[in-house]
Structure formats: C-alpha cells, structure tokens
C-alpha cells in the first residue's frame, strides 16, 4: 500500500495541542460574529447550526457545518440538529457545485483529538470539494498547500450561491 504524507496537518495539530483554554471556543466565537463582517468566515446561519469556511482548508470551499450548541458528543445531538446538519451539508454541496464544479466531495467529521480533530471540543462536519489531481507535490515536498483563492473571496461567492439556493 502506498502512503501520502501530509506534514502540514501534523504541524497544525501540534500547534493547537497546548492551546490556551482561556481563549474559549473558536467555533462558538464564530457563531456570535456578524456574518456581514468583512473578516468573518461564516457563510450562512441556520436555526440550530451555522456554516463556516475552514481557516485551514484542504481545498477552496472547504466548509464546516457546526451546531450552535457547544458539544463534542455526537450522541448528544438532537434529532433537529442532525436533520439541519444534513440539510446544510446538502446545501453546501449544491453551492460548491454551482461555483466550482468539483468532481467529488469528502464529507465527514473527526470525533476526538486522536481521530485528527483539531477542534475536538466542538463537533463540526466537514465538506471538502475534490478534483482529480488536487493533491500534488507541493505539500509533500515543499510543506505548502496551495489554495488558489483567498478565503474572503471564497466566502463572498458562497454567500451568493447560498442566497440563490434559498430562492429556488
């Protein structure tokens, strides 16, 4: 079996291992921000969840669906939270298809730090658009992940796409 090494991911995880707990939860902080703030990465707010761009994306458009309620326990999600999460993931998929025409998606969550969850104390679901050949030599040899669009431009495109989807 061949392996693809991703040292940039380990560096990110290591950088937050000893995070200052007095700073609170970055996802709870994001939920409280005004989504119209030009520096805010929140794309859409729902009744029980919000959709936010990943600050350390694997690809353009990498988003997370996050319940407002601070929990790390998957079993504690209410039926309504689970339904809204699935609906928001579907909307995110549609918005990404509208903007970027990806060839596939990775959708999922990491439960617990040992599973790779960088923000293990607040559950969140990832949706990552994928294209054939989107992994290249840059991360492996140069320890650099190339993201071809800045986050705010990506946010603006996604906000517009989500708006169009709501009008359908």
Q: Strands 42-45 and 63-67: what pairing?
A: unpaired
Catalytically annotated residue among 62, 122, 124, 126: 124
Give the closest residue to 113 by CA, choosing from 6, 13, 8: 13
Q: What are phi and psi of 78, to 5 degrees?
A: -75, 165
Give the closest residue to 58 by CA, choosing from 14, 15, 12, 16: 12
| 124 tagged catalytic | yes
Taking only Cα atoms into account, the Rg of the chain, rounded to an integer number of angstroms, comes to 16
Residue 165: strand pairing partners? none
Give the closest residue to 53 by CA, choosing from 69, 35, 80: 35
Residue 137 near residue 67, CB atoms below 8 Å: no
Active site residues: 124
């Amino acid at each position: 079996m061949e392996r693809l090494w991703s040292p940039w991911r380990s560096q990110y995880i290591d950088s937050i291992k000893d995070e200052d707990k007095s700073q609170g939860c970055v996802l709870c902080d994001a939920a409280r921000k005004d989504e119209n703030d030009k520096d805010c990465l929140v794309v859409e707010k729902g009744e029980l969840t919000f959709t936010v761009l990943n600050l350390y994306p694997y690809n353009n458009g990498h988003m997370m669906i996050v319940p407002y309620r601070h929990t790390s326990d998957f079993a504690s999600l209410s039926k309504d939270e689970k339904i809204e999460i699935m609906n928001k993931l579907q909307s995110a998929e549609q918005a990404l298809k509208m903007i970027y025409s990806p060839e596939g998606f990775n959708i999922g969550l990491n439960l617990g730090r040992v599973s790779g969850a960088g923000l293990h104390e607040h559950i969140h679901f990832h949706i990552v658009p994928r294209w054939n050949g989107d992994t290249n030599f840059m991360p492996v040899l140069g320890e650099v992940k190339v993201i071809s669009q800045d986050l705010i431009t990506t946010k603006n495109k996604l906000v517009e796409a989500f708006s169009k989807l709501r009008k359908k």
